Structures are given as structure tokens and as C-alpha cells.
Amino acid sequence: MLVSLVRSFSRQGIRVPVSRFSTYNALRSNSDYKSDAPNYEHILTESHDKVGLITLNRPKTFNALSSDLFHEINDALKKFENDSSIGAIVITGNERAFSAGADIKEMLNQTFANSYKTNFLFHWGEINNIKKPVIAAVNGFALGGGCELAMSCDVIYAGETAKFGQPEIKLGLIPGAGGTQRLTRVIGKSKAMELVLSGRTFTAQEAEQWGLVSKVFPVGEVLEKAIELGQEFAGFSQPVIQAAKESVNSAYELSLREGCHFERRIFQALFSLNDAKEGKDAFANKREAKWTHD
């Protein structure tokens, strides 16, 4: 069903790149590249210097999101979170699809009682508990759960042919992993309502214009640029980067007054860090800071 839905978009004139896309062939010659090889079935993991890379690897289903796949994503995220050598994480797919959505086969026999008792989709939100910056590198389709996964990341970089959307209405459903909430907060009620109720897709250029996507790049550059951004984040003090992420995220949960209070308290607390002392001293003495991450 998922493949049929994607093909229907293709008939509407939405182009699907057909070239094969390696996890990160462009950087395979980099000496900082390291392959991590736990026994994952649906994802690939690698590290590039201080950046952990998670690649969705179900190409035959346009990287359809299943419960098993999300358990693997969550496991990889936690491993990178607990790895002190990693300062940022990138999640990507391939040129055809970041992810075209949830695995519909998994939902065919789903009932309200079962989904309620098992809290179906709850574990899809564990990415929100990751303290380190998470960047989505999106090419091709990011539809339904794929769009929701991208929006759960802290920054989205997109290829110029990427297509986003929440087409659940066409399946007799609504977004169930944050789509109605995050999309509305970013692009506003009217535009989000139009897109969710119609199931229409929108382009990477539109997503950038509306503030959903940070930057748009040629297809072949997206992953490289995302990893470069991750390296930039990882080059700063890890506890300070994590505090900054927490403060920005609080803007979606708190009033302006409460948010500014929270920000100010975090700002004050950071003066207790050795890295704050190091950063100020390095600036005053016109030298490069040497972060110890404490």
C-alpha cells in the first residue's frame, strides 16, 4: 500500500530520483570515517569524526517506518548519546526517500483496543529525549511518519527535489506521531490545516520558505552539508550545546515570560562550567578555546 501511495504521487508529477545512494560514499576516503556494525536489520550506523550517522535502510519499501525499525533507531540514538566522542547525530535515508511513511502492513489489523493498550507509536517519540543535536538530511520523499521523523530532529537539511507531506487523510487516518502538532507550530494553523486535511505534498523550497527546513542543497550535497553542520555543533562544549538545545525547545512548551525565565536560569547555571570559564578566557586572550566538556 505504501509503494502504491508513492507511485500515485509520481503519477501526479512528483519526481522520484532513481540513482542509487550509498550511505556516504563521498566521505569514504576520509580518514575520520568509521563503520559501526551492530546487528541492525533496518538501519546502518557509522561515525564520521564527532558525528554519528544513522541511515534508514529499507530501500524496497521507500524506508517505510516499522516498529522494529524505530526500535533500532532508538537503540542507535542511545548508543551515540552515550558515546562521549560523538557530539551530534545525523539521520538520513537515500535519494529516493528519507522515508515515505509508516509501514501500512503493520497497521492493517490494528484495533483501537490494542493500539491503546500498547500505546502504539509511543516509542516513535524517544528521539525527543536525545540531548545531543540531531540533524535530518532529507532527500526524496518525507511523507507521513517520515515527515514526522524529520520534524522531530533539531535541524532539517533537504535536497532540492525532496517532497514533504502528511497524506494520512488519504488512508482514513490522521498523523499520529506529532504531525498535526509540530507542523502547526512551525508553519501556522491555516497552512498546516490545508496540508493535513488535503494530504497534499509540498516541496523543499516551500518548506524552507515556511521555516520547516533550514537549508536546501543539491541532492548530492545534502548529507555532506548535514555532517559538516554536525561537526560544527560538535566543535563546541557538549554540555553548553545541549543546554542551548533544551532552551530553544522550551520555546515550544512555555509562554514567553516562562521561556525567558528558563533561558536566564540556564544562562546563569552555565557559569559553573569549566568550559564557560575556558570560553571567556580564550576570547579575552584571543586564542582558540580548548573544551573539556565539563
pLDDT the model gives residue 51:
97
pLDDT confidence tier of residue 126, bands split at 50, 70 and 90: confident
pLDDT confidence tier of residue 140, bands split at 50, 70 and 90: very high
Spell out the CATH class of 238-285: mainly alpha
- The set of residues, in sequence order, having a beta carbon less than 8 Å from that of 55 and lying 6+ positions away, is 23, 24, 43, 44, 45, 46, 91, 92, 93, 94
pLDDT the model gives residue 32:
55
Largest CA distance in the chain: 65
Query: Which one from 64, 97, 100, 102 is the annotated catalytic residue?
Result: 102
| pLDDT one-digit tens code per residue, 274-291 | 999 989 988 999 999 999
pLDDT confidence tier of residue 8, bands split at 50, 70 and 90: low
Query: Which one from 76, 168, 179, 279 is the annotated catalytic residue?
Result: 168
Q: Tell me whether residue 145 is one of the annotated catalytic residues.
A: yes
Domain borders along the chain are 43-235, 238-285
Does pLDDT of 36 surpass 70? no
Query: Which one from 148, 177, 226, 244 is the annotated catalytic residue?
Result: 148
Give the residue from 63, 190, 179 showing the smallest Cα distance to 121. Answer: 179
CATH code 3.90.226.10 for 43-235: yes
SS3 136: strand
pLDDT the model gives residue 37:
58
CA distances for 113 relative to 109, 116, 123, 168, 207, angstroms: 11, 5, 18, 20, 36
- Higher pLDDT: 13 or 96? It is 96
pLDDT confidence tier of residue 35, bands split at 50, 70 and 90: low
Query: How far apart, in whole angstroms, are the C-alpha atoms of residue 262 and residue 265?
Result: 5
In single-letter form, the type of residue at position 239 comes to P
Query: Which one from 145, 159, 178, 230 is the annotated catalytic residue?
Result: 145
- Higher pLDDT: 11 or 158? It is 158
Does pLDDT of 2 surpass 60? no
CA distances for 22 relative to 26, 44, 57, 181, 220, angstroms: 9, 11, 10, 33, 11
| pLDDT one-digit tens code per residue, 194-248 | 999 999 999 999 999 999 999 999 999 999 999 999 999 999 999 999 999 999 9
Range name among 30-34, 84-88, 202-206, 237-241 with the lowest pLDDT average: 30-34
Range name among 8-17, 47-56, 190-199 with the lowest pLDDT average: 8-17
- Higher pLDDT: 252 or 78? It is 78
